[in-house]
Amino acid sequence: MADTTLLEIDHLKAGYATKAGFVRAVDDVSLSLRRGEFLGIAGESGCGKSTLAYAIMRLLRDSARIESGRILLEGTDLAGLDEADMNGYRWTKLSMVFQSAMNALNPVLSIEEQLVDAVLAHRSIPRAAARDLAMEMLELVDINADRFSSFPHQLSGGMRQRIMIAMALLLRPDLLIMDEPTTALDVVVQRSILQKIQELRQRLGFSVIFITHDLSLLVEISDSLAIMYAGKVCEYGPSRELYGAPAHPYTKGLMNSFPSLTGPLGRMSGIEGQAPGLIDPPPGCRFAPRCALAEPRCLSGDPVLAELSPGRACACVRCGGSL
């Protein structure tokens, strides 16, 4: 596949208006994604990963909104579309798999109903044709056709998540955003789902943004990685390089918290402390208070992403980031 850019996120800011102030959960994030690429986004929970995903899908509602920045999908700025135009993009160009399939599936509608209505919302085809399409997709994720008329509560967790994936791929979107799709599942099912995604990707050729708080999941499968901390991307680059030589102290910390394959099973070392609040965070590097390598200058300004090599960047004074 050609090396063309599919999605370009440009200085995106988004968050939630609350009584206490504006929670800027996504703070000046820029990323880009090529066609067919698998981008992993990792970070502790609460760092704004879901908000980013919701912002791309334009799902921020009520108190939540995109403040500024652009989300360019093949050159169209999604952030600037009105609701009707956005509906034309949703599910046909980009779709999403949510963390908890149990909560994301409507408990009182059958699987059939929920799959078919996604098709019918975008294609003027007879219901029977939509049904066939849905059946076909279910087969791809190894769900038996006799499950078609089941209700969500009648299925296992793994099945539900595979149905979510089938639903997301129904209209062959270019981009699939997965927000912690395997977090609610046990390890064995987790494995099989990840394999399924890889297999489908080879077949259908879509790009993936895979969000997780568990960096270890991404080791084998992602092409590139973005590490988020407190609303910001703190390190970004091709997976292999990032694993080989993590530059940001936070990335190193995340990697240290992998369960060791050889060592005793137990609690991983992790990073001490808590991320700062996202309402008017203090000046300086947001990671500094928890960083073992913090210096006085870290507290005086927020480092911006500095390019280490083409396609690889880090936001830390120690890797040449400016303040």
Partner 1 sequence: MKYFARKFGMLIFTLLISMTINFFLPRLMPGDPAKALMDRMEGVDAEKLDSVRAAFGLDTQDSLPVQYGKYLLNTVRGDLGISLSRFPMPVSTVLASALPWTIGLMGLCTIFGFAIGTLLGIWAAWRRQRKLASFTVGFFSFIRSFPYFWLGLCLIYAFAFKLRLFPLGGAFSIDQARGSAGWWLSVLRYGTLPAFTITLSSLGAWMLMMRNNMINVLAEEYITLAVAKGLPAKRIKRVYAARNAILPSVTGFAMSFGFIVGGGLITEMVFAYPGMGYMLYQAVNAKDYPLMQAIFLIIAGSVLVANFIADIVIMFLDPRVRDGAK
Partner 2 sequence: MIKDFLKTLVENRKSLAGLIMLGVLIFIALFAPLLAPYPPKADRTERTALIEETVGDQETLSEERLSDDVEKSTYVVATSRKWEKTVNYFPLRAKPSSAHLLGTNHAGNDLLSQLIAGTRISVFVGLATGLFVTLVSLTLALLSGYLGGVFDDIINFFTNVFLVIPGLPLMIVIGTYIPMHGVLPIILILAFTSWPYPTRLLRSQVLSLKNRDFVMASRMLGERTSFIVFREILPNMISIVMSEFFAVSLSAILAEATLEFIGVGNITVVSWGTILYWAQANGAILMGAWWWFLPPGLMIALTGTAFVLVNFGIDEISNPRLRKR
Ligand X SMILES: Nc1ncnc2c1ncn2[C@@H]1O[C@H](COP(=O)(O)OP(=O)(O)O)[C@@H](O)[C@H]1O
The residues of the shown chain that bind Mg ion, judged by CB under 5 A, are 50
> How many residues are recorded in the chain?
323
Binding span for ligand X by CB under 6 A among 45-53, 79-87, 125-133, 286-294: 45-53
Which of 6, 52, 105, 166 touches partner 1 by CB under 8 A? Answer: 105
Q: Indicate the burial class of 124 (C-beta count within 10 angstroms; 0-12, 13-18, 19 or more).
A: exposed
Q: Which residue is nearest to ligand X (CB)?
A: 50
Distance (Å, whole) CA 291 – CA 217: 24
Which of 51, 95, 224, 251 touches partner 1 by CB under 8 A? Answer: 95
Minimum CB separation of residue 101 from ligand X in Å reads 17
Minimum CB separation of residue 292 from partner 2 in Å reads 31
Minimum CB separation of residue 168 from partner 1 in Å reads 9
> Is residue 90 at the binding interface for partner 1, with CB under 8 A as the rule?
yes
Distance (Å, whole) CA 145 – CA 134: 10
> Is residue 274 at the binding interface for ligand X, with CB under 6 A as the rule?
no
Which of 34, 35, 70, 122 touches partner 1 by CB under 8 A? Answer: 122
What strand order describes the sheet that includes 175-179? 94-97, 175-179, 207-212, 38-42, 224-229, 232-238, 312-314, 306-309
When CB distances are held under 5 to 8 angstroms depending on the partner's kind, the choice from partner 2, partner 1, Mg ion, none that residue 50 binds is: Mg ion
Which of 63, 103, 144, 156 touches partner 2 by CB under 8 A? Answer: 63
Where is 200: in which H helix or E strand? helix 187-204
Q: Indicate the burial class of 98 (C-beta count within 10 angstroms; 0-12, 13-18, 19 or more).
A: buried
